[in-house]
Structure 1
Amino acid sequence: MQSTKRRRWLQAAAAMTLAGLLASDPSISAVPVESAEVPQAIVNSPARAVTADDDDPDIAKLLGLSEEEAARRNAKIQNRRIELVSKRAETSSIYVNPDGTLTAESYAGPVRVKQDDGSWHYIDTELVDEGAALEPETAAADIAVSDGGDKKLASVSKGATSLALGWEDTLPTPTVKDDTASYDLGDGQTLTVTALKQGFSQNVRLDEAPSGDLTYRIPVTLKGLTLSETDSGHLLLKNSAGKLVAEAPAPMMWDSSVDERSGESKHLAPVDTEIETAADGSQALVLRPDAGYFAQDLTYPVTVDPTNTLAATTDTWVATNYPDSQISSTELKSGTYNGGTTVARSFLKFDLADYEGAKVIDTNLALYSDWSSSCTEGTGTAVRRITESWSSSTVTWADPPASTTTGQVINTAAKGYSADCPAGTMNFDIDAIVRAWTSGTANQGLLVRGVDETDSYTWRRFRSANYVSGDGSTEPHLTITYNHYPEVPSAPSLSPSTDTNVVTSRTPALSTMVSDDDPQRVRAQYAIEPDPAYNDTTYTLSSDTPYVDTMEAAVLAVPEASPLPDGKHLRVRAQTFSRIKCPVRDAAA
């Protein structure tokens, strides 16, 4: 115990001594010293004494280190991963691990948003009253929802483009709960608008069967966008260059009955949709629910889902009963619950362009399952590599992109049916797929499906990139642990030697320049062996240098105990290591 206390005291004393010396300069302030009872790793710098857990953003500058160099040092000292904050983005994060590798977390959609002051906030779509309208707390687009008293239902804008939906009658003051505003329209009808990450969804809830035919005419106001409809009823919003910037699936309606296996309504139906363009160029989305649908034995309320408005995303799902791409859904689906009568498949994609050529060490695809058809596992869920280009705006059940079983990964877990198998994350170790992408195979994304699409135990409902967890924990994300290959070393040199590659000592020094794109230390391994052009000796030597900083010479002296043979022909090869090998670089001597 005494030795421990003394060691802590010595650490504190080191900081005090340095700070005291600097304090003698009136232009430099003394640095407060941590309590001697709290162990701290001390890093001395010419400017100040700094502890490794100091969160001051100037620490890297004070130590003369780049952000990544400082992160690597602190990750090792603190034995925990350190985020490279400058690399943080709406859909990804990169961390330095204690062993020097890097870990990237990539999402299929945004989970955070950068604020005007440079800070990052996780997306939070709870609606708050901002005066002129209701707005989500934090979203990846500018979203406004009517607080009543006007006909401007909701709008979303990003950059120079915007979309606004109206209502034919003046809206009443809504009831607001979390991310949803509800408007009482009378006659047993309630209009709701829900804020999403990049847009909004709206629907009409009917508490009883309508007395006559229903028609909803929704005025559409566009800026920099053009609205169109595909043959399947899919709604597209394109900019002046023809680029897809937002889309919505074909409208559907359903009642409140619940199939205990699927967790979904037993009565689904498409809604007839038309885009009207008036003489003045104004447009409206017109929806006409089929009156015949309400003649069934339905469980009310019935939901008529006019449209979901959202920026183009990279995950979606289709099914035999939802044949159009469900891009704005907050969930993904796969498998079957009724022997193959209803089958669903999901598609998602992650941007991995920054990791091309990297050495992939480990991967994990995390999908959060909040519903399964049973606690019985069945044949499981498969993740496959998609092999052809696809778009969330064009994929349908009848026309899915091709995929391959090469590298396929299966997880048989059943999560989300009951307390006996509660909702949770299903993990897929897709190393082979990601290595194919980083090695040059085109990244066309992933297919998620049931292994046997007639197995009723394969039904899964996962949370999608549109779901808002508040911390990115349950949205689909791909984690990749990787490293970059060190550079091929320069041609090895030997000293002393002549210009004709004749070594003038039997214990020369070998030297090569080593470097790594990652700011980590590198070592060289030298191999001295017979020159095959002469093959006049059996001498061999293989030895490693100590680790040196990148862009420095890695030097090795041939030991006295293993001198080179006199008058023989040898060659020298050098290979660099960080945590992984790179190709060798040969040179003869």
Structure 2
Amino acid sequence: MLPLTAATLLAEPETAAAAEPSATDNPAGGAGTPKSASEAQAFGLARESGQPVEIIDRRTETTETFAKPDGSLTQKQYALPVWTRHDGLWRKADDTVIRREDGTIGPTATFGITFSAGGDGPLVAMDQDGKKLALSWPGKLPAPVVGENTALYESVLPGVDLKLIAKVNGFAQHLIIKTPEAAANPALKTIKLGITTAGVTLDDTASDELLAKDGNGQVVFKAPKAKMWEQPAAEQTAPLAKATSQPRSVLLKEAPEPALPQQAPVGVDVTGNTLTLSPDPGLLASAKQFPLVIDPPFEGGKTGIWATVYSATPDDDYKWGDGWNSQDTPGDEPRVGYNGKGDTQAFFSMKMDGLHGANIRDASFGVVQTHSWGCDPAAAGPTELWASKSIEATTPTWNTRNNFWTYKLDERKFAHGNAEFCPGAEGADFYSPALIAYIQESANASANQVALGLRVPNSYLGNRNSFKRLRNNPVLEVDYNFAPEVLSSGAFEGSWGENVDGNKPVPCGGLIGNSGLVLTATMRDRDGGTTTPGFEVINAAGEYIPVTNLSTVPYGGTGTGTVLSENLPTGTYKWRALAKDEESSYSPWTNFCAFSSTRPDQRSASPSPRTTALPTVPPSPGSRRARRCVSSSRTRPPTSPASAGAWTARSPSPPHRAPAPEATGCPSPPARRKPSSRSSPSSTPKAP
């Protein structure tokens, strides 16, 4: 499995051509070995170079897939987009707002998002694959002040600014009310935004979410429930007590807690070409801490979901951090632990694109910590990774969180990011047999998402040492392999040639004479490697008939095996086929097909002693197969279609012993991989 820190080694330039990279431009194995290639090239380049190669054909906004030298695959699935397509090129996602050559303003590299440069045009426009949604402010806009990822339109109403915040997966619209006098403006009772669409229809749901769907009912753009909240200035984090030895522990200052900022829902209504926002009149009148912020944000593109729950506001949800109004800022980062006013927990919905039906070999969930209360992992205590129920349809709150937690998968201790004593960001990887099994279960069920959550043990609730903030784009990294498939199979009397006239098929129930039998299996491996057929031929006494000359073929090829005529005396027989790939994964057996042999010139005789005719594929030097013992469940074929359907790479007790010819010369399996170098030195991995 690729360590999560390998991202820096595999990183491409800021743009990558959508066309197939040329293998000849960067000879495999040399210093110029491509970091990415087409699917047709990637597996061969990875095998030749001994390095992972990204399959550019499988890249999406949130997914990177790598061919590995042993023929297996690694997928890195991010919660938020890390890539975007622009003018036929892949570019690293970048929410930095720039002024473009055409005079518009918008993020550097996301799906199509354009902000107003001032004037009467749309305030913001989104374009996702030709499907468009634009919102207009009810009045002329001033020229914006452009910040790092923001465009600020000052004084759109007296004492009120309008800020657009670019994100890699959409934007947030914040109406910033700066004073009580501004909050009393009657113009804020209802705010009407114009709507322009193409290829989508915008509507509000019963829970006041906004969904823009295309003609097939697919959601293209969406916004969670709109909110308004008091957003006082960020407080200064209480410092650590300076000490001359490590580890440091935290000394909290005795200080009265300020009142929690208030928040309230904002009503939304879509009628015709107008989106009406209705701020809560009570909060407009009673707000004591300013500024007062009114959203909603919009999300587009292909994205996962994350959410924070907070005991200080137990009935409120914070999908994508929207509406976070604690003085613990920024709001768009997931949180775990006690922040001084309440306990926090975080949930994530990670996509499972491309993993349906895969055999999961390894899995890890990686986060990057940006802030901690202290620097001592022991004092911070464990952060636990849990399986969760889906958060796609319903966002958890503190009061409902226990309806989502299912069971614990792993735990790690880490503490990093205190601005004075341990500044910077540092990663931590969660991995365990339980996590692998959870991802395998989801792959078997063809789940579109898998839900995970981070929390501290109940014994650490209220302990400020446990607090941490994380970047909002964790990565689920999965090593996997697909079992090969038999697309079709057949039997032919005498000889067989591909696309050759004169092949004599032997159908099920057919009869052959003195010419022997050729068995065929047309196979494919979704991993892109070669496949070898395996055949069973059994007589009426249950004895196995030898099958020889098995052939190895590339993707989609037809492999063959031969049964000599002298081994088919008069009698009845049945045969079936399977496929084996380079990683020693097997397909299920095909159904048995019966035939008869009539040999008047030969008496019935017992065949040579033989077990199942299974393919032997020598492992490539240094491959995962060469490092794994053939007694592993991954090398054992199923014995029947029923058992084969249940057999996976993770089955603890495969139903059939591996063929004896392969059970030699196998070293012991390697030890579990070391933790990521980004992880805290005190984060000791559990034994598998």
Fold match by TM threshold 0.5:
yes
Aligned partner (choices 252, 262, 267) of residue 274 of structure 1: 267
Q: Please state whether the residue corresponding to 1:268 is helix, strand or coil.
A: coil
Map 1:321-336 → 2, pairs under 5 A: 321=313, 323-327=316-320, 329=322, 331-336=332-337
Shift of residue 361, structure 1, vs aligned partner: 1.4
Show the counterpart of 1:350: 351
Structure 1 pair 340/96, CA: closer, same or farther in 2 (3 Å)? Answer: same
Show the counterpart of 2:192: 219
Shift of residue 147, structure 1, vs aligned partner: 1.9
Q: Indicate if the aligned counterparts of 2:228 and 2:292 stay in contact, CA closer than 8 A.
A: no
Paired AA for residue 155 in structure 1: A
Q: Indicate if the aligned counterparts of 1:452 and 1:458 stay in contact, CA closer than 8 A.
A: no
2:479 counterpart of 1:486: no
Q: Separation in 1 of the partners of 2:369 and 2:548?
A: 51
Map 1:37-56 → 2, pairs under 5 A: none
Q: Separation in 1 of the partners of 2:44 and 2:60?
A: 23
Show the counterpart of 2:439: 434
2:635 counterpart of 1:581: yes
Q: Separation in 1 of the partners of 2:268 and 2:534?
A: 69
Paired AA for residue 252 in structure 1: W
Q: Separation in 2 of the partners of 1:276 and 1:483?
A: 48
Structure 1 pair 404/177, CA: closer, same or farther in 2 (3 Å)? Answer: closer
Aligned partner (choices 451, 456, 464) of residue 456 of structure 2: 451
Q: Please state whether the residue corresponding to 2:442 is helix, strand or coil.
A: helix
Map 1:14-25 → 2, pairs under 5 A: none
Q: Please state whether the residue corresponding to 2:266 is helix, strand or coil.
A: strand
Q: Separation in 2 of the partners of 1:427 and 1:361?
A: 16
Greater Cα offset, 567-576 or 122-131: 567-576
* 1:151-192 per-position Cα deviation (integer Å, ceiling 9, x unaligned): 743333444441304155x33222212321123328665432
* 1:275-324 per-position Cα deviation (integer Å, ceiling 9, x unaligned): 4778x8744323357256544xx5xx635142222238431314232713
Q: Indicate if the aligned counterparts of 1:485 and 1:516 stay in contact, CA closer than 8 A.
A: no
Paired AA for residue 204 in structure 2: S
Q: Separation in 1 of the partners of 2:456 and 2:513?
A: 65
Q: Please state whether the residue corresponding to 2:43 is helix, strand or coil.
A: helix
Q: Please state whether the residue corresponding to 1:86 is helix, strand or coil.
A: helix
Show the counterpart of 2:674: none
Q: Indicate if the aligned counterparts of 1:133 and 1:145 stay in contact, CA closer than 8 A.
A: yes
Map 1:289-300 → 2, pairs under 5 A: 290=283, 294-295=287-288, 298=289
Structure 1 pair 171/82, CA: closer, same or farther in 2 (3 Å)? Answer: same
Structure 1 pair 239/582, CA: closer, same or farther in 2 (3 Å)? Answer: same
Structure 1 pair 339/198, CA: closer, same or farther in 2 (3 Å)? Answer: closer
Q: Indicate if the aligned counterparts of 1:155 and 1:164 stay in contact, CA closer than 8 A.
A: yes
Q: Separation in 2 of the partners of 1:444 and 1:402?
A: 18
Q: Indicate if the aligned counterparts of 1:362 and 1:481 stay in contact, CA closer than 8 A.
A: yes
Q: Separation in 1 of the partners of 2:222 and 2:400?
A: 21
Show the counterpart of 1:257: 234
2:469 counterpart of 1:461: yes
Q: Indicate if the aligned counterparts of 1:415 and 1:421 stay in contact, CA closer than 8 A.
A: yes
2:278 counterpart of 1:286: yes
Q: Separation in 2 of the partners of 1:259 and 1:453?
A: 27
Q: Please state whether the residue corresponding to 1:520 is helix, strand or coil.
A: coil
2:287 counterpart of 1:317: no
Q: Please state whether the residue corresponding to 1:347 is helix, strand or coil.
A: strand
Show the counterpart of 2:54: 83
Q: Separation in 2 of the partners of 1:571 and 1:406?
A: 47
Structure 1 pair 303/317, CA: closer, same or farther in 2 (3 Å)? Answer: same
CA RMSD of aligned residues (A): 4.9
Shift of residue 230, structure 1, vs aligned partner: 5.1
Paired AA for residue 87 in structure 1: R
Paired AA for residue 358 in structure 1: A
Q: Separation in 2 of the partners of 1:357 and 1:229?
A: 34
Show the counterpart of 1:476: 474
Q: Please state whether the residue corresponding to 1:93 is helix, strand or coil.
A: strand
Structure 1 pair 108/276, CA: closer, same or farther in 2 (3 Å)? Answer: closer
2:134 counterpart of 1:163: yes
Q: Please state whether the residue corresponding to 1:331 is helix, strand or coil.
A: coil
Shift of residue 392, structure 1, vs aligned partner: 5.1
Structure 1 pair 149/514, CA: closer, same or farther in 2 (3 Å)? Answer: closer
Q: Please state whether the residue corresponding to 2:635 is helix, strand or coil.
A: coil
Q: Please state whether the residue corresponding to 2:611 is helix, strand or coil.
A: strand
Q: Separation in 1 of the partners of 2:401 and 2:536?
A: 53
Paired AA for residue 211 in structure 2: L
Which consecutive unaligned segments of at least 5 residues does structure 2 have? 1-23, 240-256, 323-330, 496-509, 565-604, 618-624, 626-633, 641-688
TM-score, normalised by the number of residues in structure 1: 0.68
2:392 counterpart of 1:391: yes
Show the counterpart of 1:371: 371
Show the counterpart of 1:237: 211
Structure 1 pair 524/391, CA: closer, same or farther in 2 (3 Å)? Answer: closer
